[in-house]
Amino acid sequence: MKSITINGSKRESVGKVATKALRNAGEVPCVLYGGETPVHFAADERAFAKLVYTPNAHTVVIDLGDNVTFNAILQDIQFHPVSDKILHVDFYQLFDDKEVSMNIPVVIKGAAPGVLNSGGVLSRNKRKLKVRALPSNLPDIIEADISNLELGDKLYVTEVADEKFKFLHPDNTVVCQVRTSRTSMKLEDEVEGVEGAEEGAEEGAGEGAAAQE
């Protein structure tokens, strides 16, 4: 999995006054969990752009200077309700021999015959899937091949499984499916209505002819 480096500095004070001063200076207070003790640090808000404002999944290298680095993943992030500025970020430390859970984006591969040939619509039920794996086995993406999906077919999480990681979803979780479009349903209803009217007219004509006889 691709990694992004966040350069920061350790925080000596974690009180409200110090936190407010950090934010006013364009810094974001952060905490790294998962080790022996939490590590409090701060980083420039601009450093989080490639990590937060992207659909991709990344691990993080937290560089606090003086050869102090940590491998981590983003665990939680808080935004200001009005300005959307980043208020606080939590990270979780990675260890080579310890599994972690992470949301991985789903990427669609191929074209569904049910969409191309039958007028169906592809419905994406899951744009991300949560997996559990060792850090070295975390995938960048999860490919969902829809090349065999006909109208009404579903692609389940078991069909995109990989032995390197475990899905934290039930086996019957639907990743995507090909549904009948509203337009095609409307056209079918209109055709049925026309056919019904024509049959009714034919029956009425037949009855009229019989009555004249």
Residues 180, 106: one domain?
yes
Give the range of the structural domain holding residue 153, as residue numbers without chain letter.
Answer: 101-184
Q: 197 pLDDT band (50/70/90 cuts)? A: very low
Q: How far from 72 is each of 3, 52, 111, 137, 206, CA to CA, in Å?
A: 9, 14, 36, 14, 80
Alpha carbons 124 and 142: distance in angstroms, whole number: 13
From the number of C-beta atoms within 10 Å of its C-beta (0-12, 13-18, 19+), residue 204 rates as exposed
Domain-ending residue, one of 94, 129, 145: 94
Structurally, the chain folds into a number of domains equal to: 2
Residues 84, 7: one domain?
yes
Residues 82, 131: one domain?
no
Region 25-54: what's the mean pLDDT?
A: 92
Residues 87, 31: one domain?
yes
Q: What is the model's pLDDT at position 92?
A: 96
Please tell me the pTM assigned to this model.
Answer: 0.78
Give the containing element (helix H, strand E) for 102: strand 100-109
Please answer whether residues 58 and 4 qualify as being in contact, where contact means their C-beta atoms are separated by less than 8 angstroms: yes
Give the containing element (helix H, strand E) for 156: strand 154-156
Compute the mean pLDDT over every residue in the chain, rounded to the nearest whole number: 87
Alpha carbons 213 and 208: distance in angstroms, whole number: 9
Region 60-67: what's the mean pLDDT?
A: 94
Q: 187 pLDDT band (50/70/90 cuts)? A: very low
Q: How far from 63 is each of 9, 28, 183, 187, CA to CA, in Å?
A: 8, 15, 54, 60
Please answer whether residues 132 and 166 qualify as being in contact, where contact means their C-beta atoms are separated by less than 8 angstroms: yes
More confident call, 178 vs 50 = 178
Q: Tell me: the pLDDT tens digits for 129-168?
A: 999 999 999 999 999 999 999 999 999 999 999 999 999 9
Residues 117, 139: one domain?
yes
